[in-house]
Amino acid sequence: MTTRIELLEMINNGENSGVEFKRDDIDNRALAKELVAFSNLSGGALLLGVEDNGTVSGITRAALEEWVMTACRDKIRPAIIPFFEIVRDVEPDKHVAIVRVAPGFSVHSVWHNSGHTYYIRVGTQSREATPEELSRLFQQRGTLRAELRPVSGARLDDLDLRRLRDYFGRVRQQEMPDDGDEAGWRTLLINTEIMVEEGVTLSGLLLFGTSPNRFLPFAGIEAAAFPGVEKDYAARERATLRGPMTALMGESGLVENGLVEQAFDFIRRNVAAKTTLEDDARRVEVPLYPSEVLRETLVNALIHRDYLLTSTDIELAIYRDRLEVISPGRLPNGITPARMRTGCRAARNQLIKDVMKDYGYLESMGMGVSRKIVRGMRKHNGTEPELIEREESFTVRLLAGDSAEPV
CATH number at residue 391: 3.30.565.60
Looking at the fold, whether 48 and 84 belong to one and the same domain comes out as yes
The pLDDT, as a whole number, for residue 407 is 45
Looking at the fold, whether 73 and 196 belong to one and the same domain comes out as no
**CA angle (162, 166, 171) in 5-degree steps:** 165
The pLDDT, as a whole number, for residue 205 is 97
pLDDT digits (tens, 9 = 90+) for 141-187: 765 677 888 898 899 999 999 999 999 999 999 999 999 999 999 99
**pLDDT band of 49, cuts 50, 70, 90:** very high
With respect to residue 193, please indicate whether it lies within any of the assigned structural domains: yes
With respect to residue 150, please indicate whether it lies within any of the assigned structural domains: no
With respect to residue 200, please indicate whether it lies within any of the assigned structural domains: yes
pLDDT digits (tens, 9 = 90+) for 5-14: 999 999 999 9
Looking at the fold, whether 252 and 329 belong to one and the same domain comes out as yes
**Whether this model's pTM surpasses 0.85:** no
Looking at the fold, whether 230 and 378 belong to one and the same domain comes out as yes
pLDDT digits (tens, 9 = 90+) for 266-324: 999 999 877 565 656 666 678 899 999 999 999 999 998 988 777 789 999 999 999 99
With respect to residue 371, please indicate whether it lies within any of the assigned structural domains: yes
With respect to residue 151, please indicate whether it lies within any of the assigned structural domains: no
Looking at the fold, whether 180 and 231 belong to one and the same domain comes out as no
Domain count, the chain: 3
Looking at the fold, whether 318 and 359 belong to one and the same domain comes out as yes
Looking at the fold, whether 196 and 116 belong to one and the same domain comes out as no
Cα 217 from chain centre: 8
CATH number at residue 108: 3.30.950.30
With respect to residue 69, please indicate whether it lies within any of the assigned structural domains: yes
- Of 82, 115, 144, which closes a domain? 144
Other residues' Cβ atoms within 10 Å of the Cβ of residue 347: 16
- Of 214, 246, 264, which closes a domain? 214
How far CA 186 is from CA of 111, 181, 183, 197, 359, in Å, comes to 38, 9, 5, 9, 22
With respect to residue 51, please indicate whether it lies within any of the assigned structural domains: yes
Looking at the fold, whether 38 and 73 belong to one and the same domain comes out as yes
**pLDDT band of 406, cuts 50, 70, 90:** very low
The pLDDT, as a whole number, for residue 276 is 62
- Of 89, 116, 144, which closes a domain? 144
Looking at the fold, whether 163 and 232 belong to one and the same domain comes out as no
Looking at the fold, whether 192 and 312 belong to one and the same domain comes out as no
**pLDDT band of 135, cuts 50, 70, 90:** confident
Domain housing 335: 221-403
Looking at the fold, whether 135 and 17 belong to one and the same domain comes out as yes
CA-based nearest residue to 137, from 27, 236, 40, 226: 40
With respect to residue 149, please indicate whether it lies within any of the assigned structural domains: no
What is the rounded CA–CA span in Å between residue 39 and residue 32?
10
Looking at the fold, whether 262 and 377 belong to one and the same domain comes out as yes
